[in-house]
Amino acid sequence: MKWIDIVWPMMGAASLTLGLIQLFIWVHTRRQLEHLLFFATCVGVAVLAILELLALRSPDPIRFGALVRAGHVPLAMVLVSLVWIVRVRFRAGSLWLAYAVTAIRALSLIPNFLTGVNLNFLVISEVRRIELVGGEHMYAPIGVMNPWIIPAEIGNAALVVFLVGAAFEVWRRGDSDERTRALWVCGSMAAFLLLSFGSALLITHGVLHMPYVVNAAFLGVMAGMSYDLGGEVVQSAKTAKRLRETEQRVQLAAEAAGLGFFRRELGGDRIWVNDTGLALYDFDRDRPVTPADLFERIHPEDRERIKRETARSIERDTAFEREYRLLLPGGRVRWLAVRGQVERDQAGQAAALYGVVLDVSARRLDEQRFRVAVEAAPSAMLLVDAAGHIVLVNAEAERLFGYARDAMIGQGIELLLPESLRGMHQGQRMRYQGEPSARVMGAGRDLTARRQDGTIVRVEISLSPIESPEGALVLASVTDISERMRRDQEAAQQRDQLAHLSRVATLGELSGSLAHELNQPLTAILSNAQAAIRLMARGAEHQGEVLDALQDIVDDDKRAGEVIQRLRAMLRKEPLAARALDPNALVHEVLRLYRSDLLNRGVEVELALHPDPPEIQGDRVQLLQVLLNLLINACDAMHGLAVRRIRLSSEPGSGATMRLSIRDCGPGIDPARIERVFDAFVTTKREGMGLGLAVCRTIVEAHGGRIWADPAAAGGACIHMELPLAES
């Protein structure tokens, strides 16, 4: 066996192997045309290798010529393929030149078969034996050149120009990776083709006497190509490895997050679910999952809805989100949230559904607890979103507003306001959202709400902001205070009524004192008037005296008027009218009212007043009544005693209050009854109704103050009361 017999078949076999690999790649990818073209190249080179081997071993000129003629077919195939590989692979090189090379090579086959013995020779005169190293020999042709070879050689030159142009174009594009590959592929092609074409040219033109050995050059070209396309395979393998790593990382992250993955090819009856997903649905790891299995797991109450939604997604969605319950073996319930996408083919038909699944039971449980708590609240509760729409209401809200639940949900909150407030409310809502905080709404203002039947109710509203995935929400708690207001009003009326009655009663006790107060000026008036009459009757010289008398009448009349005024004020039936009062002035006023009684009963009054007391907040007449009651009680307690002394004092009390105290030197209060003396109908007096102190307490408490009997008082009773200070 000679080495040529070994080398040439090996080149053919190697070429064919490379080609089959490329064919395999193309069959699998179906996309990359360059692999198919490379396959064609390899087949061409392999055929060329066989023909070339036969020619090298052929001493017969006729047989040699026929082999060369046949060789032009695979050669054309190889060259044309190479041109288009470069075009397809690098999208570079002149398209015009590519077509030109293709056309020239195809057309050259015509003279190849119709003129001379082949495209190279018109006639082959002889075949010369050439001795080679290793005792080897080969045959080279000698003959007359076929002129039709010249267009083919121009085509070869065009091919080299095309390759060089393509290499430059890729180089200019600047991608370093591409640059290297373009240089390898185009450069090696151009170099080896130049070598092959050059030698063929010299042989054909009779300059060089040696056989055509283009095949070896093509092997060089193919080595370069294989490096390029093989590099891509290596690259793919690397990419695949990276993808696997990424997938593993995603898988790990998904497992850590409890995220399940699923994919359902709509053609088959399988759903692929990852391990985490299988655990969420409580499926066996080994058994395949079908859509029917999955729907079986869904809670019966949610199943039909999910079937409907799935069908709709397949029909027209690109992405979907759902939440539903699973009814797991053993009756456990689990809430899942599914987020997925629909894969569609070019015709828009759904091909697959895929996405992620997450266990949201904890969130759902929280939501459920929140709902239960809201539902059970004794006030009307409204959950309102950032746009002012009602998201959630409770049963009490239905009752208070008179709307059915469904009629409120989704509506603007303004639905529940009186028409006159609706416009204004929007602005207030915006302001609240700018600065949300838990607070009682509209402090100091009367708030109203509108019921379905159009009636307006007085309400109290407190707001709490809630952050949620759906944005900032506000929970409003609304309480109907109409009833409470009515009761308060009634109570106030009753208190005023009682206070009035008690004042009338007190006035009865005061009558002696009042009669005296009125009698004094009346006495003076009458006497002055009668004196004036007498003086006038006695003559004009008493005119000065008459004027004095008349002036006194005027003064006394005014004094009497003031007494009447005070009396009327005491009797007036008026609601509590609080204003700032000087506590010492109150003490002095009550003493003036009761002065004549004190005088009459021989009661000494000792004052221990704060020199500069702060003002208290209260109704003058009602507080006077309290003091008067206490004063009368104190005097009554000392009836018949030898020493009758009362001590009135004012001093700062606990907190922001002023304390007024009245102490007598009577027998004091029985310690056993001291707690009860302020109750109605409890009295120490034989003729009393026992209303006085009860009324006192009602009045003081209505003022926000307190009144009590001092249990530690020695030698008589001591009553303290503390009244809140006026706001300065």
Q: Which is nearer to other proteins, 457 or 549 (CB)?
A: 549
Q: Which position among 525, 581, 635, 723 is part of the footprint of other proteins (CB under 8 A)?
A: 525
Q: Which position among 424, 526, 554, 564 is part of the footprint of other proteins (CB under 8 A)?
A: 526
Using only C-alpha atoms, the chain has a radius of gyration, in whole angstroms, of: 59
Q: Which is nearer to other proteins, 83 or 524 (CB)?
A: 524
Q: Within 10 A of 304 (CB to CB), how many other CB atoms are there?
A: 11
CB of 679 to other proteins, least distance (A): 33
Tell whether residue 215 is a contact of other proteins (CB under 8 A): no
Q: Which is nearer to other proteins, 535 or 586 (CB)?
A: 535
Instruction: Give the E-state strand segments of 439-515 in sequence order.
Output: 439-440, 447-450, 456-468, 471-480
> Which residue stretch of 76-84, 438-446, 480-488, 524-532 sits at the interface with other proteins (rule: CB under 8 A)?
524-532
Q: Nearest 5 degrees, angle CA 286-CA 290-CA 293?
A: 90
Tell whether residue 339 is a contact of other proteins (CB under 8 A): no
Q: Which is nearer to other proteins, 558 or 588 (CB)?
A: 558
Q: At what angle do helices 620-637 and 692-702 cross, to 10 degrees?
A: 150
Tell whether residue 545 is a contact of other proteins (CB under 8 A): yes
Range 601-620, binding other proteins (CB under 8 A): 602
> Which residue stretch of 68-76, 152-160, 442-450, 511-519 sits at the interface with other proteins (rule: CB under 8 A)?
511-519
Q: Which is nearer to other proteins, 466 or 536 (CB)?
A: 536
> Which residue stretch of 10-18, 116-124, 516-524, 651-659 sits at the interface with other proteins (rule: CB under 8 A)?
516-524
Q: Which position among 32, 433, 527, 649 is part of the footprint of other proteins (CB under 8 A)?
A: 527
Q: Which position among 15, 188, 276, 528 is part of the footprint of other proteins (CB under 8 A)?
A: 528
> Which residue stretch of 16-24, 243-251, 532-540, 615-623 sits at the interface with other proteins (rule: CB under 8 A)?
532-540
Interface mask toward other proteins for 361-400; x: CB under 8 A: ----------------------------------------
> Which residue stretch of 277-285, 496-504, 512-520, 681-689 sits at the interface with other proteins (rule: CB under 8 A)?
512-520
> Which residue stretch of 105-113, 150-158, 441-449, 509-517 sits at the interface with other proteins (rule: CB under 8 A)?
509-517
CB of 524 to other proteins, least distance (A): 4
Tell whether residue 147 is a contact of other proteins (CB under 8 A): no
Q: Which is nearer to other proteins, 440 or 550 (CB)?
A: 550
Q: Which position among 493, 530, 543, 565 is part of the footprint of other proteins (CB under 8 A)?
A: 530
The Cα 662–Cα 228 span in angstroms is: 114
Closest CA to 396 of 383, 410, 382: 382
Token pair in block for residue 33: 């045309």
Closest CA to 467 of 593, 553, 383: 383
Tell whether residue 507 is a contact of other proteins (CB under 8 A): no
Q: Which position among 250, 404, 599, 608 is part of the footprint of other proteins (CB under 8 A)?
A: 599
The Cα 252–Cα 259 span in angstroms is: 10
CA–CA distances in Å: residue 177 to residues 162, 223, 509: 21, 18, 117
Q: Which is nearer to other proteins, 11 or 549 (CB)?
A: 549
Tell whether residue 509 is a contact of other proteins (CB under 8 A): no
Q: Which position among 452, 520, 649, 683 is part of the footprint of other proteins (CB under 8 A)?
A: 520
Q: How crowded is the C-beta side of 140, counted as CA atoms within 13 Å? A: 18
CB of 556 to other proteins, least distance (A): 5
> Which residue stretch of 11-19, 231-239, 426-434, 537-545 sits at the interface with other proteins (rule: CB under 8 A)?
537-545
CB of 578 to other proteins, least distance (A): 35
* Ramachandran bin of 655, using left for φ above 0, alpha for ψ from -120 to 50, beta for the remaining angles: left
CB of 534 to other proteins, least distance (A): 4
CA–CA distances in Å: residue 710 to residues 192, 627, 639: 125, 16, 21
Tell whether residue 645 is a contact of other proteins (CB under 8 A): no
> Which residue stretch of 26-34, 284-292, 517-525, 628-636 sits at the interface with other proteins (rule: CB under 8 A)?
517-525
Token pair in block for residue 603: 């009661």
Q: Which position among 155, 340, 521, 692 is part of the footprint of other proteins (CB under 8 A)?
A: 521
Tell whether residue 510 is a contact of other proteins (CB under 8 A): no
> Which residue stretch of 42-50, 121-129, 208-216, 545-553 sits at the interface with other proteins (rule: CB under 8 A)?
545-553
Interface mask toward other proteins for 551-590; x: CB under 8 A: -x--xx--x-------------------------------
Burial class (CB within 10 angstroms; exposed 0-12, middle 13-18, buried 19+) of 506: buried
Sheet holding 645-652, edge to edge: 604-608, 645-652, 657-664, 718-724, 706-709
Token pair in block for residue 672: 């056993």
Tell whether residue 252 is a contact of other proteins (CB under 8 A): no
H or E segment and range at residue 248: helix 214-256
Q: Which is nearer to other proteins, 365 or 533 (CB)?
A: 533
Tell whether residue 550 is a contact of other proteins (CB under 8 A): no
Tell whether residue 591 is a contact of other proteins (CB under 8 A): no
Tell whether residue 101 is a contact of other proteins (CB under 8 A): no
Q: Which position among 458, 516, 566, 706 is part of the footprint of other proteins (CB under 8 A)?
A: 516
Q: Which is nearer to other proteins, 521 or 618 (CB)?
A: 521
Closest CA to 350 of 312, 306, 315: 315
H or E segment and range at residue 166: helix 149-173
Question: Are 455 and 419 within 8 A, CB to CB?
Answer: no
H or E segment and range at residue 381: strand 380-384
- Binding-site size for other proteins (CB under 8 A) equals 31
For the four alpha carbons of 150, 151, 157 and 160, in that order, the dihedral sign comes to negative
Dihedrals φ, ψ of 140, to 5°?
-125, 140
Tell whether residue 18 is a contact of other proteins (CB under 8 A): no
Q: Which is nearer to other proteins, 20 or 522 (CB)?
A: 522
Closest CA to 179 of 300, 76, 92: 92
Burial class (CB within 10 angstroms; exposed 0-12, middle 13-18, buried 19+) of 7: middle
Q: Which position among 535, 635, 669, 718 is part of the footprint of other proteins (CB under 8 A)?
A: 535
CA–CA distances in Å: residue 444 to residues 447, 459, 460, 596: 9, 12, 11, 46
Dihedrals φ, ψ of 691, to 5°?
-95, -25
Which three-class secondary structure string do you get for 416-446? HCCHHHHHHHHHHHHHHHHCCCCEECCCCCC
Q: What contacts 432, CB < 8 A, 6 or more positions away?
A: 463, 474
CB of 701 to other proteins, least distance (A): 37
Q: Which position among 3, 269, 600, 675 is part of the footprint of other proteins (CB under 8 A)?
A: 600
Token pair in block for residue 401: 């507003």
Q: Which position among 58, 108, 313, 596 is part of the footprint of other proteins (CB under 8 A)?
A: 596
Q: Which position among 534, 573, 579, 676 is part of the footprint of other proteins (CB under 8 A)?
A: 534
What single string gives the DSSP state of each residue in 63-78?
HHHHHHHHHHHHHHHH
Q: Which is nearer to other proteins, 472 or 526 (CB)?
A: 526
Antiparallel, parallel or unpaired: β 645-652 and 604-608: parallel
Token pair in block for residue 137: 């020999």
Instruction: Tell me which residues touch other proteins (CB under 8 A).
Output: 512, 515-516, 519-528, 530-532, 534-535, 538, 542, 545, 548-549, 552, 555-556, 559, 596, 599-600, 602
